Amino acid sequence: MKTMNGSSKTIDRKEQVKSEVVKNPAITDKKGYIDNFQKWLNNNYRTGLVVDGLYGTITKKAAIKGLQTELNTQFGAKK
């Protein structure tokens, strides 16, 4: 992979992407999932969401912000 300045950089994909499979989630209702997702976005990406359990426009924008931030971090984009 070439970086912006033309140098080559090797990326080990297995080290970059760490995921977790939840086999038995503790939450059984959808509202609880959205609440937890909003809290997670606030804690990890400082999105400033109001935790209301609604997956509306503002939550979608915050989710996109979190995704973009994570991709920029993993692929070395400058801030």
For residue range 14-61, list pLDDT tens digits in order: 555 556 665 665 555 666 889 999 999 999 999 999 999 888 999 999
**Amino acid identity for residue 4 in this structure:** M
Check residue 1 and give its pLDDT. Answer: 46
Rounded CA-CA distance 53/30 in Å is: 8
Q: Do 41 and 49 touch, CB atoms closer than 8 A?
A: yes
Q: Does the reported pTM lie above 0.95?
A: no
**Amino acid identity for residue 30 in this structure:** K
